[in-house]
Amino acid sequence: MYEKDTIVANATPLIPSAVGIVRISGEKALQIGKKLFTLPEKVEERKAYYGKIKDRKGEIIDEGLLLFFKAPRSFTGEDVVEIYPHGSVPVIKKILQEAIYFGARFAQPGEFTKRAFLNGKIDLTQAEAIAELIEAKTERATKAAVNLLEGKLSKKVNQLREELMHLISLIEAEINFPEDVEEIDEETLKMSLKSVLKKIEELLKTYRKGEIIREGIKLAIVGRPNVGKSSLFNAFVGYERAIVSEFEGTTRDFLEESLSINGIPVKLLDTAGIRETENKVEKIGIEKALQKIEEADVVLFVFDLSSGITEEDMQIYEKIKNKNPIIVGNKLDLVLDKNNEKYYFNDVIPVSSKTLQNFDQLEEKILQKLNLLEEADTDIYINLRHYELLKKAKEVIERVLKDFEYLLSNKEILMLEISEAERALEEITGEITTEDILGNIFSKFCIGK
Ligand code: GDP
Ligand code: ZN
């Protein structure tokens, strides 16, 4: 499948550091380890050896630890030697050079993980999880990557594959031995396909959410001038960044700021007051604002509780209501005594940007809107590659259900169709892959992983 040469790389992300890691994988790993390090004749696996690291002339480079992992009980499934010297740049460079001199080759990005995949230690979704884990910027993204690494997506996909393979075998038996086997019950077949379809659709839904968890929520604040957008923005961000003014319309363009709600990154956007205008400059600003709002995941529509809903509020609301905004009544502190206030909207979150009252409620509402409130423990989020393959499987099954009557009298075609859906699922876990797909996935890794 690949040349079994021995590869080496620095596995420490940051050097200088207290300790560095040089990882060697392949048939010659131990042999090279023995040249670089004073080791006993019989090296035990998974035991830390302490000693001097030497170059080809026997001169001491550093001292440190060495660990040996015997195939197949290693990350890559091959013999692996890990050397832990001090994390100095010249020391690590020297060890790499010497390992190459003794017969190793410098590893490509992701090559250790690729070998782990090719040796059947992990499937493709787990390999992707490792890249995701390394890149995760938030707690939530980390948790999701861990779930992927544990094989939670593979398990679901494999269950679906099994269901399809069961159907395929039934149809195949009927084609090959029409006298001996009973004809497939049409209703059962249809129900099975529908059940698989439903599960695929559920997985497909996790794509958008995964994107939000990995990349963050885009949150736009919209409303007429003076309702307190900038104040709300500042209250969120936690420090004064937007210019809060007593005069109308000071926030001409947009301000963007990043923050985090419950471990999820949020990109907050304060839009200029959207309203009808004859002024050309302002018109451009409005166009831009509307475009930004279109891109937002969640829109906060802000009005002023102390002045109530105005004509202008309604005009703006009309423009953005397709985004299904969260309605925020600001300046609660000014109307606290009038607690029977009747709002036009029946689902208003009253807040005060001045006293921060009800901000927790507002944050909860934002997460709820994106279905992000539930436990992260079960989170599975598919990536774009999974999405494309699941979509393909979905389309095939939909086609089968649509032409169901016809296919029942053409069982060979029916079998081919279901096999096509099954193969798309197989590609997710990497049962079948091409060099292109592998290259694409593993090139995104860092060296040493
Ligand atoms: P924007 O034009 O929508 O961005 O509104 P600003 O944030 O500039 O606020 C307009 C005015 O309302 C300023 O004088 C703020 O101090 C005031 N303001 C904003 N939020 C609140 C609030 O929650 N309570 C009170 N009492 N005043 C507020
Ligand atoms: Zn403002």
379-408 pLDDT, tens digit each: 788 999 999 999 999 999 999 999 999 999
DSSP annotation of 336: T
Q: What average pLDDT does the chain have?
A: 86
pLDDT given for residue 245 in this prediction? 43
Cα distances (angstroms) measured from residue 141 to each of 110, 135, 214, 352, 382:
20, 9, 5, 31, 12
272 is in an annotated binding site: yes
* Separation CA 431–CA 425 (nearest Å): 9
Cβ–ligand 1 contact at 354 (below 6 Å): yes
- Gyration radius of the chain over CA positions: 30
Question: Is residue 129's pLDDT more than 60?
Answer: yes
210 is in an annotated binding site: no
Peptide bond into 109 cis (omega under 30): no
* Separation CA 273–CA 448 (nearest Å): 50
Report residues near ion ligand 2: CB below 5 Å. 229-230, 251
Instruction: Give the 3-state secondary structure percentages of the chain, helix then strand then coil, rounded to 5.
Output: 45, 15, 35
What is the distance in A from the centroid of ligand 2 to the CA of 331?
Answer: 14
Confidence tier at 76 by pLDDT (50, 70, 90): very high
* ipTM surpasses cut 0.90: yes
Name the residue among 192, 124, 154 with its Cα closest to residue 418. Answer: 192
249 is in an annotated binding site: yes
Least confident of 90-99, 215-224, 246-255, 274-283: 246-255
Question: Is residue 26's pLDDT more than 80?
Answer: yes
pLDDT given for residue 423 in this prediction? 95
246 is in an annotated binding site: yes
Cβ–ligand 1 contact at 329 (below 6 Å): no
Q: For residues 173-201, give the mean pLDDT.
A: 91
What is the distance in A from the centroid of ligand 2 to the CA of 130?
Answer: 43
Cβ–ligand 1 contact at 245 (below 6 Å): yes
Q: Which residues lie closer than 8 Å to 56 by C-beta, 6 or more apart?
A: 35, 98, 101, 102
**What is the per-residue pLDDT across 86-101, written as a single tens digit (0 to 9) for each?**
999 999 999 999 999 9
pLDDT given for residue 331 in this prediction? 94
Q: Whose CA is nearest to atom 13 of ligand 1?
A: 246
What is the distance in A from the centroid of ligand 2 to the CA of 237?
Answer: 14
DSSP annotation of 266: E
